[in-house]
A and B are shown apart, each in its own frame.
Chain A
Amino acid sequence: MNIPSLSIASLKEKVENFSVKSLLLPLFGILAFVLLWQVGASRVHTSLGEFPGPVVVYEQWNSLVAEHTNERIKEDKFYERQEKRIAARQAKDPSYVGKLRDYTGKPTFFDQIFTSLYTVLAGFGLASLIAIPLGILIGLNSSVYSALNPVIQVFKPVSPLAWLPLVTMVVSASYVSDDPMFSKSFLTSMFTVTLCCMWPTLINTAVGVAAVEKDLLNVSKVLRLGWVTHVMKIVIPSAIPLMFTGLRLSLGIAWMVLIAAEMLAQNPGLGKFVWDEFQNGSSNSLGRIMVAVLMIGFIGFLLDRAMLMIQRYVSWDKTQVLR
């Protein structure tokens, strides 16, 4: 093979630049952090022992994975036993209709992650469904804006902890059903998330909609576009960048709020896991809480990346630098 040496050199340079910036430096940052963490952790003593360092956290991570696998095996066996029992009864008495009972084992760390994830997505989804249309309305109409602005400004800074008792009481009072589709704890967490995270999307959408370029508005006027076409073809596309800024802020808030709400309300999820471990107070607890902390951060990061990917996909301006 005879490849010109020049292109090899330039390629090599590119690869090096790429890997230094995107791989080596972040790796260095993480390494430095882990080192500092290890050194720092061993100097902090609590009533539950030393503050967990990276090694302890890694061990706890492994034990959480093992617990999860064991739990799944137990669950499978539980259902297997039930099925065998029912089959045996049916062999004796063909008219017997067996009923499968749900497994009632303790939710593992990973079950809690899953619960938190769909709760946050449901809450965030509901918030977006409310905030985007309302934001468009507010942005288009200055009278609506003037009317709603005081309400928005007052509710925006309210902490989830203040909402939670009210939401809990309202949900338990109004959601009464013998065969509930959703559990009350899910609804409480979800509504709390919705109430707290809708504001950035609402405000940014409104600002984006109100800031449509004047020339484009003139184009719309000259064409005499109808209201729906005007909104769909001109207003929404130009508001998309700010809308997504709002959505990303909202999703970040949603995730933080959810963990706090779960902790306070003892609703299933990662927040409850942290609280349970804290109450448990074993020598493993701090390490496990630290695993949860890192996991919460990592999932938050992934959620934001996912939003960014959606923004890239939806955005018309592919040259825009998104970070």
Chain B
Amino acid sequence: MPTHLDISKVSIEFPTAKGSFKALDSVSLKIEKGEFVSLIGHSGCGKSTVLNIVAGLYDATEGGILLDGKEVKGPGPERAVVFQNHSLLPWLTSYQNVELAVKQVFKKTKSKKEMHDWIMHNLELVHMTHAADKRPDEISGGMKQRVGIARALAMEPSVLLMDEPFGALDALTRAHLQDSLMEIQKDLNNTVIMITHDVDEAVLLSDRIVMMTNGPEATIGEILSVDLERPRDRLALANDPKYVDYRAQVLTFLYEKQRKVEPIVAVKEAKPTENNKVANA
């Protein structure tokens, strides 16, 4: 049986004005079904790029992604993404945002009634049924992120990709959502790849933590298996020697082995060329 998700020797180069820029060099990672994997590293190390390649939003220059033995080409709902800044459509209510995804994925397989129940079920999972008819500008940042997660879960993805899902939230809301995520994960047993730069979040949520070296030509530095009993309780873990040790290992990697010396002139992360056309009015 092939690996569930196989990231195989992925490299990517972006064309820039000064020639091509190699952001990732030969990233390889095998992920089992139901595994929760965190990608951690300093900003600009290419964590998001890895996620975007798995999502199909970027094309790898070399190597490729296999999902259940099939090569990944282009984005699709079986690899749902929870974006860092929720990315809900501001003109649709929470319900309609989830509905857009559900209609797209289950148009042919579910009846209207079933789709409605499925939307409500997913809003229920993230405890957002009370705000089903509210638009994003009427709910808080944490609630928006919840709806974003509901939208992703509603696609019934094989792999759930989360790009710093709680990065923009305050500490309390973040802790709350992490707990919710663990709860959902317990029930659904999704395969998750999450990007984070929060060490506690990584240790608390993950089965494995993938630590990335600094770019350019970033790659996987170390992989740490987190062997802690689930369900995990953040308070109990705070003094758990194993937890403290895992945490120390990640911190050591980030702040000793891969200490980031910020260059004086910040090197901007190169993006694929977009046509930024501005028609002058």
Contacts and interface: CB of A to CB of B under 8 A. Distances in A.
Interface stretch (B75-83, B182-190, B236-244): B75-83
B89 interface: yes
Interface residues of B, number: 30
B135 A219 contact: no
Contacts of B76: 222, 224
Given A233-B100, A316-B91, A222 B77 contact: yes
A229 B105 CA distance: 13
A213 B85 CA distance: 12
Interface stretch (B22-30, B208-216, B256-264, B272-280): B272-280
Nearest to B103: A229
A214 B104 CA distance: 20
Interface in B80-120: 80-81, 83, 85, 87, 89-92, 100-101, 104-105
| Interface residues of chain B: helix, strand, loop or mixed (majority) | loop
B1 interface: no
Interface centre among A142, A203, A316, A319 (most CB of B within 10 A): A316
Interface in A188-231: 200, 203-204, 206-207, 210, 213-216, 218-219, 221-225, 229
A323 to B, nearest CB: 18
Interface of A: 138, 142, 145, 149, 200, 203-204, 206-207, 210, 213-216, 218-219, 221-225, 229, 233-234, 237-238, 246, 316-317, 319
B91 A222 contact: no
B87 A319 contact: no
Interface of B: 55-57, 74-77, 79-81, 83, 85, 87, 89-92, 100-101, 104-105, 135, 137, 155, 274-275, 277-279, 281
B85 A215 contact: yes
A221 B75 contact: yes
Contact of B89 (A200, A203, A224, A234): A234
Given A206-B279, A223-B104, A218 B83 contact: yes
A223 B90 contact: no
A222 B80 contact: yes
A219 B281 contact: no
